């Protein structure tokens, strides 16, 4: 861990592993995704059809490539974020004319970052650092390949909807990719925060994506309260509506993303700042089983602590079933100890 001389007080993270900021459900969802039948074959087919050159050539011809001569301030932010997360080589960055605020890392072996003019319009300088750092995190984590695959599959699925069998097969993979990508966004929000090291700027970005135009027009506490109300309000009908609302989304909803990042700020962020983070050089020794266990623990914790009405009912039902089955098991065990002549209820 060293200080970033581009701004006094900003910390750099030499040899940082993506595991330092990746959400456990991100890595676990990717493991599950790779287990979907046909996933590897589809990945190979898309990789062969797209090619590295076509992705870069498309943006080279239609967008502005950021450099010391074009968008120099943005180029400096990119360089600083790559330095902060110790990413080499620095990926190319393109600005695309599009009023919709968006940013993405796409490509195969050599990913590129794309930011729309709509995104540049709604964030301030430190918010832009959070956005660029977020995308640098995607590159460092190797997410660009799967993001590219998702975009291509969505295009293919839209073109063959009249073929039910083929469409349903792709649908399963797309749903799996969407679930993973929503988790990967939570991971890279953390990477963006590590690059900017300004929690308030990160919160402003999430609020801007939700619709805030001026900082004076919003209250951050009230914005985070929206996430609490969404997660805990309503009844079971609302729970099912939430499932339907999120199934086709590639990104988590803005208020929920903000709330999730706030959790990590209070449980993980400070440790990384202090230099307590896994090193990339040790990644090869990290067993895959740890990712699966961490993901399972994450989902279990979310399930047990969720204020969602449906989760509460299921959690309560699980506790009742567990208690009943435990009592039954105890009676059988006592009967076995008492001998074959005894009845399971303890009577002779």
135 is catalytic: yes
Candidate list 80, 92, 126, 135, residue with the active-site label: 135
Strand 64-65 to 93-96 pairing = antiparallel
Find where tokens 């300004």 sit. 198
CA-based max dimension of the chain? 92
Quote the radius of gyration of the chain (alpha carbons, Å).
Answer: 24
Contact 116, 102 (CB under 8 A): yes
Query: Which residues does residue 11 pair with via DSSP β-bridges, in sequence order?
Result: 3
**Is the Cα torsion angle 142, 143, 148, 149 positive or negative in sign?**
positive
Q: What is the DSSP string of 252-296?
A: --HHHHHHHHHHHIIIIIHHHHTT---BGGGGGGS-HHHHHHHHH
DSSP assigned state of 217: G
What is d(CA 111, CA 187) in angstroms, rounded to the nearest whole number? 18
Cα dist. 251→54, 187, 234 in Å? 25, 12, 23
As annotated, the active-site residues are: 135
């Amino acid at each position: 861990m060293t200080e970033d001389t581009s701004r006094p007080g900003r910390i750099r993270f030499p040899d940082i592993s993506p595991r330092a900021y990746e959400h456990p459900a991100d890595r676990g969802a990717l493991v599950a995704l790779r287990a979907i039948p046909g996933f590897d074959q589809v990945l190979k087919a898309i990789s062969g059809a797209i090619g590295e050159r076509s992705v870069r050539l498309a943006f080279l011809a239609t967008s502005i490539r950021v450099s010391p001569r074009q968008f120099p301030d943005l180029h400096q932010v990119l360089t600083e974020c790559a330095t902060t997360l110790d990413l080499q080589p620095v990926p190319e960055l393109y600005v695309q004319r599009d009023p919709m605020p968006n940013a993405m890392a796409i490509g195969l072996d050599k990913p590129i970052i794309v930011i729309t003019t709509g995104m540049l319009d709604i964030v301030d300088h430190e918010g832009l650092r959070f956005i660029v750092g977020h995308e640098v995190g995607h590159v460092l984590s190797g997410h660009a390949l799967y993001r590219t695959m998702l975009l291509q599959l969505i295009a293919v699925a839209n073109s063959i909807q009249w073929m039910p069998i083929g469409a349903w097969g792709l649908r399963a993979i797309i749903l799996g990719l969407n679930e993973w990508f929503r988790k990967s966004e939570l991971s890279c929000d953390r990477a963006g925060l590590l690059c900017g090291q300004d929690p308030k700027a990160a919160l402003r970005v999430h609020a801007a994506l939700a619709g805030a135009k001026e900082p004076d027009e919003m209250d951050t506490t009230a914005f985070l309260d929206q996430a609490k109300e969404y997660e805990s309000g309503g009844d079971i009908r609302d729970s099912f509506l939430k499932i339907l609302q999120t199934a086709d989304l590639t990104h988590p909803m803005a208020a929920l993303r903000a709330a999730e990042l706030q959790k990590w700020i209070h449980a993980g962020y400070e440790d990384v700042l202090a230099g307590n983070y896994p090193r990339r050089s040790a990644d090869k020794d990290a067993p895959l089983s740890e990712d699966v266990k961490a993901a399972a623990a994450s989902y279990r914790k979310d399930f047990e602590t969720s204020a969602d009405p449906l989760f509460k009912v299921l959690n309560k039902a699980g506790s009742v079933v567990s208690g009943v089955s435990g009592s039954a098991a105890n009676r059988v065990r006592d009967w076995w100890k008492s001998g074959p002549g005894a009845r399971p209820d303890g009577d002779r």
